[in-house]
Amino acid sequence: MNTTEHTTFMVPKPEELQQLSELYKAMGDYTRMRILWRLMEKEYCVSDLAKEMQATKSAISHQLRALRIVRLVYSRKVGKNVFYSLQDEHIGWILEETYAHISER
């Protein structure tokens, strides 16, 4: 970390560390990671996402629920369909930065 980027650094409180741990656990699943990357492209309804990922709607719904609980994805209902997108721009940034990190040689 470049010290000029952050002027102050504080260790998160225990409850915040727990939240961070839960967030990374949710991101630590291969299927959920695939879902997050798909949602970086665009908003998806469950059936389209399941088709895109060649999985059942039930399996995708289960994973989306886990992502929603830790606030990685946002859902909105339109008629009978539920559409999902990334919760906010921070999620995309986290994914891109961690990918950049593992891509360094």
Residue 64 forms part of a structural domain? yes
Residue 66 forms part of a structural domain? yes
Residue 6 forms part of a structural domain? no
Q: What is the pLDDT of residues 61-74, one digit of tens each?
A: 999 999 999 999 99
Expressed as residue numbers, the domain containing 39 is 17-103
Residue 1 forms part of a structural domain? no
Counting the structural domains of the chain, the total is: 1
- Give the pLDDT of residue 46: 96
Q: What CATH number does the domain containing 99 carry?
A: 1.10.10.10
Residue 78 forms part of a structural domain? yes
The Cα–Cα gap between 75 and 86 comes to 9
The Cα–Cα gap between 98 and 94 comes to 6
- Give the pLDDT of residue 71: 95
- pTM: predicted TM-score of the whole model, two decimal places: 0.86
Residue 60 forms part of a structural domain? yes
Residues of the chain with pLDDT under 70: 1-7
Torsion angle (degrees, nearest 10) of CA 75, 43, 96, 55: 90
